[in-house]
Amino acid sequence: MTKKIHFTKSGHKKIVEELDHLKTHKHPSAKDRLAKARSMGDLRENSEYHAAKEDLGVIVGRISELEEMLRWAEVVDDAVEKIETDLVRLGCKVVLEKNGAREEYHVVGDYEADPVLKKISHSSPIGQALLGKRKGEVVEVVIPSGKHTYTIVDVQVV
């Protein structure tokens, strides 16, 4: 059995929307492109045919990947999350302070993580250290750059 894949509501919505877009727009368009390229003649030397075939394969692969993700998806229940608003859980935004500097992170599922956008996975070292902690607690995290100490300044359920 595969383990559940955790998503925030917004992350789940993005996956559903991407899958819908691929199935209703990109896949039919890629099939049409391949059919047109195939009609151009000798397939051995037809670069458009090979490119169209490769693009279609990428789209079909992504559709399959998204469908599998949704098959195992578990979406965070906002009602449960709002019971204890100062408790760090999947889907929360957390303001951390380290040496006087503050940073805000959104704790999300593995497939939603994007460090550039300050979205950290709940299974990352920082995410794991934060889960279950409360506003005001001090958290120590060991990451490749060393041991870091953070104070949880604020927790927001979103």
Which tens digits make up the pLDDT trace of 89-117?
A: 998 999 999 999 999 999 999 999 999 99
- Stronger pLDDT, 85 or 118, i.e. the higher one: 118
pLDDT in tens, 13-32: 999 999 999 999 999 999 99
Q: Please state which CATH number belongs to domain 5-75.
A: 1.10.287.180
Would you state the pLDDT for residue 86?
80
> What mean pLDDT do residues 67-92 have?
79
Distance CA 36, CA 45 (A): 15
pTM, 2 dp: 0.78
Q: Please state which CATH number belongs to domain 78-157.
A: 3.10.50.30
- Stronger pLDDT, 26 or 76, i.e. the higher one: 26
How does residue 1 score in pLDDT terms, banded at 50, 70 and 90? very low
Point out which residues pair with 138 in neighbouring strands.
151
Would you state the pLDDT for residue 31?
96
Residue type, 8: T
Domain with CATH 3.10.50.30 in the chain: 78-157
Would you state the pLDDT for residue 83?
58
Would you state the pLDDT for residue 144?
86
Domain with CATH 1.10.287.180 in the chain: 5-75
| Helix, coil or strand: residue 123 | coil
Distance CA 153, CA 25 (A): 44
> What mean pLDDT do residues 47-52 have?
91
Spatial neighbors of 134 by CB under 8 A, at least 6 apart, are 86, 87, 88, 152, 155
Would you state the pLDDT for residue 141?
92
